[in-house]
Amino acid sequence: MVAAGVGVALLGVAGCGPGGLAGDESEGATGETSAAKPSEEVLAGVDPCGMLSDEELKSFGLELPGEAMSTVPWRPGCDYSGDPFGVMFVKNKRQTADSAAKKDTWAKFERAEVNGRAGATAVTEGATQAGTCDAMFDAGQGMIQIRAHDVARSDSRDECAKALEIAKKVEPNVPEPA
């Protein structure tokens, strides 16, 4: 019951305007951009539910299987319930860490390297009290986002550190930036 609620909460945060993941905003009437095709080709083989092995997922306290989700076709994801963190893995084919930095939806955006790749940790305006943080890094012509959500919202845990820790495990499994 709690796990289902966490999944719904994560989906709610991910799909809401300013509280959503980078790239949630409308990108024109057709939803297409000129950069979409090359990125889709480079990242085509990346499955958000297959970025880590079952053993690695369990080591982070995540429950299997993950639930595939996508609010838009260029940003498929996979949501995992867990304790103490729920985690969402997202393949964003239209954004990079640099383009995400330019968005005005962040309450906090800090540059970070993920195993040498350009990246960042970020908290959206709508999630400052939710115990939710995104770690992102460039992959292909897009980026990978890892959203960690502290289920119990404990002040003793750092959701940005957890998202970054998981991102460092995911990074070797995805294409280098184009």
DSSP code per residue over 114-143: ETTEEEEEEEEGGGTTTTEEEEEEEEBTEE
- Whole-number Å distance between alpha carbons of 157 and 19: 21
List C-alpha distances in Å: 130 to 32, 96, 111, 121, 144.
31, 24, 21, 15, 21
Distance of CA 32 to the CA centre of its chain: 21
- Whole-number Å distance between alpha carbons of 96 and 102: 10
**Band (170; pLDDT cuts 50, 70, 90):** very high
Q: What's the pLDDT score for residue 29?
A: 33
- Whole-number Å distance between alpha carbons of 68 and 173: 18
Q: What's the pLDDT score for residue 137?
A: 97
Q: State the pairing for strand pair 106-114/117-124.
A: antiparallel
Distance of CA 15 to the CA centre of its chain: 12
Please answer whether residues 117 and 148 qualify as being in contact, where contact means their C-beta atoms are separated by less than 8 angstroms. Answer: no
Mean pLDDT for all residues in the chain: 80
Mean pLDDT of 37-65: 87
Distance of CA 29 to the CA centre of its chain: 25
Q: What is the pTM of this model?
A: 0.77
The rounded percent of the chain whose pLDDT value lies above 90 is 56
| Cross-strand bridge partners of residue 112 | 119
Query: Euclidean distance between the first and final Cα of the chain, in Å?
Result: 42
Name the residue among 137, 46, 131 with its Cα closest to residue 82: 131
